[in-house]
Chains A and B, each alone.
Chain A
Amino acid sequence: MKQEQFEQQNEASWQAFEAWLKWHGKRRKKDIATAPFANSEMPERYRLVCLQLALARDRGYTQALVEYLHRLAQLGHDELYGAQSGFGQRVLHYASGGFAADVRANAKWVLASALLFFGPMLAAMLAVHQWPDFAYLMLSPEQVANFETMYGNESRSLGRVARDASTDFQMFGFYVYNNVSIAFRCFAGGLTAGVLTVFYLIYNGLSIGVVAARLGEAGLAGNFYSFVVGHSTFELGAIVLSGAAGLKLGAAILAPRRMSRGAALRQAGRSIIGMVCGLAVMLFAAALTEAFWSPLKLDLTIKLAVGGVLCALTLAYFALAGRHDGT
């Protein structure tokens, strides 16, 4: 068939397809009456365009016609294969168990990350207990003094008295911005073959250990734990998970096994991105707790009990949820 005849035969259907794409692209007003054809006809018409593109290429029609059909097929392809459905349901499903299942599936990375984080933390605590001056290796004397006033008995920053709601909210914004960004960087640092991730884990572990032990030595352990016990499960747990995600990426670079590095990275990325979103939500919850619950001046036993319950619930979720998913 000559090109002219081919064009004359099909031009109307191409124009209808083009009009449908334009109509469907309009976000707001999707009036069914103005549609060039029903949505259900779209796949069939798209396949027809594909067929015509193949014919046009095979018969050596002009480059411009081939390009026109190519663009038409590309746009149809985008519409057909880009349909996002059930986003809310997917999120619910993931939260109700998929997240926990992902964490369990990556148990060895979580364990490695926990060791790299809690190991240095304990070591720092012991070191400060033995040689209190060890703290000055990590922190300057001013920082140590700062922490001691912050959690001091006369500090008013911990009570309702001096801290009004707007300060709480300001701190909430700061915790989200700061903590989630650190966790994301810890994850992305995995692409430096894991070096940055390991550095973040050890460094944060050491700092937290030094501060905790130093405050304990100064007799302020009660104030400190009363503040941190509520949010520490979420916050420390999320740091460990971000470390696990980073370590897995780093391992894909160092030991891609029987795949190319690109393929190994892609596989690792796909398997942990859900976990990274989950840990971001955990940090968000931690920021809420840290900003609005932790500063309350309540009896230490209440604080410890709430912290204990949150910790137990979190551990139970990761241990039990999503086991009977059929996945």
Chain B
Amino acid sequence: MMPPERRRYSRMLDTLRPVTTPELIELQLHPAGLLVRSLAWLIDMAVRMGITMALGIPLSLLGKFGGGIMLLVYFLLEWFYPVLFEVLGGGATPGKRSLGLKVLNDNGTPIGWGPSLTRNLLRAADFLPFAYGIGIASMLLHREFRRLGDIVAGTIVVYRDALGGLPVIATAPPLAPEEPLDRMTQRALLAFAERASNLTPARQEELADLVPYLSDPQASQTRGPRGAARLVGLANHLVGRQA
């Protein structure tokens, strides 16, 4: 039985995975899909080939001894390259890091040695029958895009955005609404005001026209601007700015 929370989310189109922390807040994990993970794999492949070549050329001068070291390097790169980066490098190989991906346990905590080894040794099974056939099929079928190694290890590859600064709503003279606004409306107004600076003026007006009772009230005693500017003014009132 899925917990009620899961059921609620599974009805949504979103792929977010909600995780409740011991502090009783809900963190949302945003699983990464096949394409971006394949790109990360390609980048890692290039890095590994780079390492192989950088070491291979001087080692080839050492004859059989160098050949022995080279085989050890191949071995480490094939099986342990991702493990070392995932555990010691903050959950991401260079390829994943460059695309903003990260490996986590499915309870949202950073990955340790055991799960990382499990998911990476089982790569050999995901690789079957060739070119990651099973892994790709598994990722396409799983709602959180996990390959077999991820399923066994209980890990998940997620997007992790960098920390940006606090967003700002453009300052405008605050306008009190004619009548109390319900929660959904308040949220929609705030979301609009936050994004307004990224929209063309024409698009702003177009959106504002969708809510004429807010952007263009007919009541005779209403003063102040009309259209998008009015919505931004209302948002300024909602966040509590003083005139």
B-binding residues in A (CB < 8 A):
1-5, 7, 11, 14, 18, 21, 25, 46-47, 50-51, 53-54, 60-65, 68, 70-75, 77-78, 81-82, 84, 87, 165-167, 169-174, 176-177, 180-181, 184-185, 187-192, 196, 249, 262, 265-266, 268-270, 273-274, 276-277
Contacts and interface: CB of A to CB of B under 8 A. Distances in A.
B154 interface: yes
B49 to A, nearest CB: 17
Interface in B148-189: 148, 151-154, 160-161, 163-167, 169, 183, 186-187
Nearest to B235: A62
Give the secondary structure class of B's interface: helix
B interface, size bucket: 35 or more
Given A68-B167, A191-B152, A273-B114, A60 B187 contact: yes
23 contacts: A1-B240, A2-B239, A3-B240, A4-B240, A47-B23, A50-B24, A62-B191, A62-B194, A64-B194, A73-B25, A74-B108, A77-B27, A77-B108, A84-B112, A165-B65, A166-B64, A176-B72, A177-B71, A180-B79, A181-B79, A188-B121, A190-B125, A266-B152
Interface in B8-62: 21, 23-25, 27-28
B93 to A, nearest CB: 17
A188 B125 contact: yes
Closest CB pairs A-B (n = 5): A2-B240, A82-B110, A173-B71, A64-B167, A173-B68
A5 B167 contact: no
Interface of B: 21, 23-25, 27-28, 63-65, 67-72, 74-75, 78-79, 87, 90-91, 108-110, 112-114, 117-118, 121-125, 128, 134, 148, 151-154, 160-161, 163-167, 169, 183, 186-187, 190-191, 193-194, 238-241
Contact of A70 (B27, B154, B241): B27
B71 A174 contact: yes
